[in-house]
Amino acid sequence: MLIARNLSTRYLAIGTEMALGLVILPMNVAYLGPAAYGLWMLTWSVTAYFTMLDLGYQDGLLKYVAKYRAQRDSRALNEILSTMFVVFAGMAVLAYTAAIVAAVNLGALFQLTPEQVALGRMVLLIVSVQVAASLAFGVFGAVINGFQRYDLNNVVGAVVGILVALVNIAVLMAGYGLIELVAATTAVRLLSSFVYRANAYRVFPGLSVRPSLFRMARLREVTPFSLHMAVIDWARKLNYSFDVIVIGAFFNTTLVAVWSVAQRLSDAAQRISNQLNEVLFPTVVDSDTANRLDRLQSILLVGTRLSLATVIPIAGTLMLNASPLVFAWVGPDFEESVLVLQILSVAVVARVGASTANTVLKGAGKHRLVAMNGVATALVNLVLSLLLIRQFGLLGVAVGTLIPVTISSVFVLFPAGCWRLDVPLARAWRESIWPALWPATVMTAYMVVTREAVPPSLVFVVAHTVSGMVVYALTFGFLAVRAEERRFFLSRARQLIGSRPAVPLSVPSESA
């Protein structure tokens, strides 16, 4: 039930964000212009790399919060959280210093006009305030996630998303420009950090974050695992965020905007379909700590099947309806986004399909393998993108992402996850992959047959896209899933809808 509640509220937050994005993105492009919007996305991509300064301690902290929560050791929890708060505060200062350096050198890094350089510097410095704050408040997020109470922050995230959208619309309707828009939306996100902090104290009433509880021994305890998580995070950012930097270095910000439209849609598909794996990590750590191999095997097989059954209809309908969707959403000026979206959607299927294996490997002692694989994938991605961008433009960058991500996911991570848990590949194919794969043929046939009858408006195109997902879901749910498993999921859904709010989790003191 806890996982179900976390997932359902997470989908509430993502669904709210996506619905708002359907309105806000084209509005921002129309009011700001493609060049200014592309500049905004370019600066956001730069700030994504400032979070690399956390050196993987955010993921490492999550593991140890989950571990000491399972052991009911409140003293260790507070010492680790206090130690990492001091570390994160220092990292926040370093992050903003890096932002200042990047802002000073913005004109040398990208193909920008003098006016864009001045505007980009202001945007970068404003956005970086929120990035630095997210580092400083990182310990409170680790409490929420480590206690597996994602649902609290999910609800807050949905509310904050609505507030940001309303502020966004108000600023543009009042006639203000990019600087005012970024400042206003950043202020809302900054204020929300204090709500997340309050949630951490609600989840763990015994929480005590104080610099006096800093312990060097706790830092040494967290560091080995965290450094491997840092390598994984750096590789992930190089794989999935660096493309915008490459495009900005070779082309103008208008092409950055074109890429961002395709990336926004493919990222949405990945986020929606990968939420199960986001919330499974503490469960994997618990199961590995308890040496529950049977439970880990179930997580791998069922998690992979559900992940594929979620990502295939979403990414598949995006590929099939890419052209009418892009045209109806942002107009014919973004035609180049269509093929990029289709290529990135294939990469999303490969990545999400192997995400459960990736989570199991990280949480069950094989994080070094995940780190090395991530580095190799990122380097190949970078090299291919640089080699292909001059001749093929945005298409070359997309292909440079697709090839290494697919090879890494299909031929490295998933087989390694099966090997770690003694699951034969034949069994994994039979129980996880094939039941989720074959219903896509029914969905594809439906989409192709009905596509010509769909009017070229956003409402009808989105409705057609959703109907394709429904066709897949019905085929999967009634023909690809065993009857007892279908009854189990339906009973869980009914229980979730009718359940009462959960009592806040806490860790008793050692003397209890």
pLDDT at residue 61, rounded to an integer: 76
pLDDT at residue 505, rounded to an integer: 35
In sequence order, what are the residues at sequence separation of 6 or more whose Cβ sits closer than 8 angstroms to the Cβ of residue 6? 148, 149, 150, 151, 154, 279
The 10s digit of each residue's pLDDT in 153-200 is 778 888 888 898 999 999 998 888 889 998 999 999 888 888 888 888
In sequence order, what are the residues at sequence separation of 6 or more whose Cβ sits closer than 8 angstroms to the Cβ of residue 253? 34, 35, 36, 38, 39, 42, 110, 111, 112, 116
Query: Other C-beta atoms within 10 Å of 374: how many?
Result: 24
Task: Give the chain's mean pLDDT.
Answer: 82
253 contacts 42 by C-beta, under 8 angstroms: yes
User: Does residue 502 have a pLDDT over 50?
Assistant: no
Closest CA to 246 of 230, 261, 259, 264: 259
pLDDT at residue 314, rounded to an integer: 93
Task: Find the distance separating the first CA and the last CA of the chain, reported in whole Å.
Answer: 27
Determine the longest span between alpha carbons in the chain, in angstroms: 70
Helices (H), 393-482: 394-408, 414-420, 425-428, 434-437, 439-450, 458-475
Closest CA to 274 of 236, 248, 246: 236
Lowest mean pLDDT among 70-74, 116-120, 309-313: 70-74
Q: What is the 3-state secondary structure (H, E, C) of 159-180?
A: HHHHHHHHHHHHHHHCCCCHHH
232 contacts 373 by C-beta, under 8 angstroms: no
Cα gap 166→172, rounded to integer Å: 10
pLDDT at residue 410, rounded to an integer: 93
**Kindly report the CA angle at 84 between 79 and 89, in degrees rounded to 5?**
135
Cα gap 378→343, rounded to integer Å: 17
Residue 150 Cα to chain centre, angstroms: 14
Q: Which helix (H) or strand (E) holds 22?
A: helix 2-32
Helices (H), 204-274: 216-240, 242-250, 253-273
> Which of the four pLDDT bands, split at 50, 70 and 90, describes residue 467?
very high
123 contacts 179 by C-beta, under 8 angstroms: yes
227 contacts 56 by C-beta, under 8 angstroms: yes
414 contacts 308 by C-beta, under 8 angstroms: no
The 10s digit of each residue's pLDDT in 69-110 is 777 778 878 888 888 888 888 888 888 898 898 888 888 878
> Which of the four pLDDT bands, split at 50, 70 and 90, describes residue 418?
very high
pLDDT at residue 511, rounded to an integer: 31
Q: What pTM value is reported for the model?
A: 0.67
Most confident of 50-54, 56-60, 91-95, 149-153: 91-95
pLDDT at residue 504, rounded to an integer: 39
